[in-house]
Amino acid sequence: MFRISAASPLSPASPSPDGRKRSFPPAAARLEVLNTSDPISARIASNDSRRSRRPVSNRNMNPPPGHGPGLGWGPEIRWTPIVRRSDSIANLRNPRAAISRCAGAPAFDVRATLWVEWTGPVRSGADRRGGRYWLEFVTRGLEATMTDFRMGIMLASQAATWPDTIEAARRVDRLGYDHLWTWDHLHAIIGDKLQPIFEGYTVLGAWATATERVKLGLLVGANPFRNPGVVAKAVATLDHVSNGRAIAGLGAAWFEYEHIAHGIDFGTSVGQRLAWLDEASAAIRTLLDGGTVTSEPDGHYAFHELEHHPRPLQARVPIMIGGGGEKKTLRTVARHADLWNVSAPPADLARKNAILDEHCAAEGRDPAAITRTSGCWAVIRDTRAEAERVWAAQMASNRSGLRESDGFRNFFGPPELVAEKLLEHVAAGFSSTIIELAAPFDLETIDRLIGEVKPLVDRG
């Protein structure tokens, strides 16, 4: 049998179940399972180089009775024998296995490490040497035998009514999407700039009380709008209001008009705003983790022994950084982000994904610690012509002459067509997408994306 246990949070010096202290990342959820029949849903591969043997098969593809769902299971499992502290996942001979993801699993368990103790029969030299295994959830399906493509919805708040906005949010939550986003703009960015538009953090706070499970964030927060300390306080508050579902969305900002109109410093260049973003991201990460921030003398900000209480409910609030700049933006992503969002053609997605890996290597960061999300617009109908009519009506409602539907980020048509396009993103290394919807929000598209498109993408 296997006994799996982990507590959240686990500090780097927390005692393991055998009483010894080791350094390991915090678990994303508390989980304690005792399975007296089969080993937990996984295939266990021997790490014994002296013999070749088939992995132990497991017939039980669900958590034991009384232990599911919602225990933080991830789409892929890797069993890593602890033989030497320097052992890496990449050097294992057969590290992959797959399980069915339980409904209600946390949206962004990028990497949750659980302690696994083998108490069954000794079957190989690897068991005798250690008998203990790390269980690692990895959302990027590099070696997965099944895909569990995560989907989110971004509700663009311009030209929207509040009843429609809250109704769409509840629907997204009820249908099982992983994450829900809104813009962070003070003026409309499509068509007439003076259309109605809602402020981002106020929207998130209202959504937090109207939803139960979906993660919530700005896609993405305009860094110049707010002092980073205020952002960290807002995110921590949102985490409490939402019962641990906040994501800190951050970006350098691009829409100069709204900055000028509000008298907000837009900086003198993109490079300057990216430097501000890097400094702000570091401060927000420290504050959300419970640390204290004092600015460097030459920094843009002037924090002095800043710390916040209460801390967020999550042991680690995810930071989402948006943007595709390959020299500076992706370096900031590698340093500070848990999630990254970008919109680009598939070939560019693959290139940027590889460049992010290079930045991670330079920063000493595990690339698998960052979930890659793509961005696109979508309208789902049985025919492309129907979808384009819906899009045209939405653009008219947004007082925009924008009518093009052939752009690389516009996915309009039947579910099979949209799934085919999203599979190109999967092939480029992206395990999640955020579908942007214009007002008036198309409830049929919300229904069919997760009900029809996602199963097609999961099956590949």
Q: What is the pLDDT of residue 383?
A: 96
Q: Which of 428, 453, 457 is nearest to 142 (CA)?
A: 428
CA angle 195, 201, 202 (to 5 degrees): 70
> Residue-wise over 328-340: b if at least 16 C-beta within 10 A, else e?
bbbbbbbbbbbbb
The 8-class DSSP code of residue 60 comes to -
Within 10 A of 426 (CB to CB), how many other CB atoms are there? Answer: 20
What pLDDT is stored for residue 122 in this prediction?
Answer: 34
Residue 188 tokens read as: 């409309």
The predicted structure's pLDDT at residue 405: 60
Q: Which domains does the chain have, with CATH numbers?
A: 1-140 (no CATH), 150-459 (3.20.20.30)
The two tokens of residue 34 are 């005792």
Q: How many residues does the chain have?
A: 460
Task: Return the residue matching tokens 């696994």.
Answer: 116
Q: Which of 52, 43, 100, 57 is nearest to 75 (CA)?
A: 100
Task: Kindly report the backbone phi and psi dihedral angles of residue 115, in degrees, each rounded to the nearest multiple of 5, phi listed first.
Answer: -85, 130
Helix spans in 176-312 (H): 200-210, 228-241, 256-262, 270-288
CA distance 381 to 411: 11
Q: Which residues pair with 151 in a beta bridge?
A: 433
- Residue 18, both tokens: 């055998």
As given in the structure block, the two tokens for residue 197 are: 């538009």
Give the residue among 329, 327, 328, 319 at the shortest CA–CA distance from 369: 319
Question: Distances in Å between the alpha carbon of 71 and those of 145, 269, 313?
Answer: 21, 46, 17
What amino acid is encoded at 28 in this protein? A
User: From residue 84, how far is each of 23, 81, 376 by CA, in Å?
Assistant: 13, 9, 44
Q: What is the pLDDT of residue 408?
A: 84
Residue 147, pLDDT score: 52
pLDDT recorded at residue 49: 26
pLDDT at 404: 62
From the list 337, 378, 171, the residue with the least C-alpha distance to 248 is 337
The residues of the chain scoring below 50 in pLDDT are 1-146
The overall pTM is greater than 0.75: no
Give SS3 for 434.
strand
Contact of 455 with 418, CB cutoff 8 Å: no
334 DSSP 8-state letter: H
Q: Which residues contact 89 (CB under 8 A, 6 or more apart)?
A: 78, 80, 95, 136
What would the pLDDT profile of 198-241 be if each residue is shown by its tens digit?
999 999 999 999 999 999 999 999 999 999 999 999 999 999 99
